[in-house]
Homo-oligomer: A and B are copies of this chain.
């Protein structure tokens, strides 16, 4: 049977890795020869989840293998966030919870995007729709994805559906949401052993905003100042990255997972757009965005408006 790859986005986060694995499992149960793959290194948070539930890291690919004709995208739909040769393969399905943009197919497909906090929340419904039981380790991955994307339900992207799904999945996975959740999130804030290049690529996504290339990278932390001890080093590396990639703006978002604020560092010719977008003043290229923890619901829409305004 022809193989179908299940692919999360570049610079994968916990949802991209775990939902790829969870959906590949569901497809296999439904008789499809599906394999979850990843487009980058797994972060420490994801590694914690995989280790806890005793699962192997998916295979890394740079591009879709030549003998593969079909792929399924999870947790993303914009082509620039996907595998490099995405235009050469048939996209059979998309399961996602982000805005829809920069996506195009020749043929109809199964395209399911819902405005919930996490791809795994949609997958939880799909398991039910197909009446397939979720095994303990897969439920563990799915609840990890929801905890990660919702910052343990503190993010404004989190919906009642996410909370309900997480509770169901935690039960199957036999974990205490608060205890397991905080341990997993904390594991992700461990930045030691990371090179500056790794930190910059951490969870970076590129967006087109009114013709401007904008890259936004989010790092979770329990101690913001500890991250910014390296500010000078960050700025130097970011400037090089901005020049090399013709970015109009690179925004580093350091998110305090305990207090739900973000301290951002803005570099690029369009850094003033950050001031307009959030009604703040950048001091030493930085600003504290109170109550801002979501790139998708808070940062991208506000910045997009500032670029279009």
The residues of A with any CB-CB pair to B shorter than 8 Å are: 97-115, 296-297, 300-301, 304-305
Contact = CB atoms under 8 A, between A and B. Distances in A.
A104 B300 CA distance: 14
B104 A102 contact: yes
B104 A109 contact: no
B101 A104 contact: yes
Contacts of A304: 106
B111 A105 contact: no
A105 B112 contact: no
Contact of A99 (B99, B105, B300): B105
A172 to B, nearest CB: 22
Nearest to A113: B111
A107 B115 contact: yes
Contacts of A113: 108-112
A116 to B, nearest CB: 8
Contact of A104 (B97, B100, B114, B301): B100
Contact of A109 (B100, B107, B109, B305): B100
A125 to B, nearest CB: 9
B105 A115 contact: no
A255 to B, nearest CB: 19
B106 A99 contact: yes
B104 A108 contact: no
A117 to B, nearest CB: 9
A17 B110 CA distance: 23
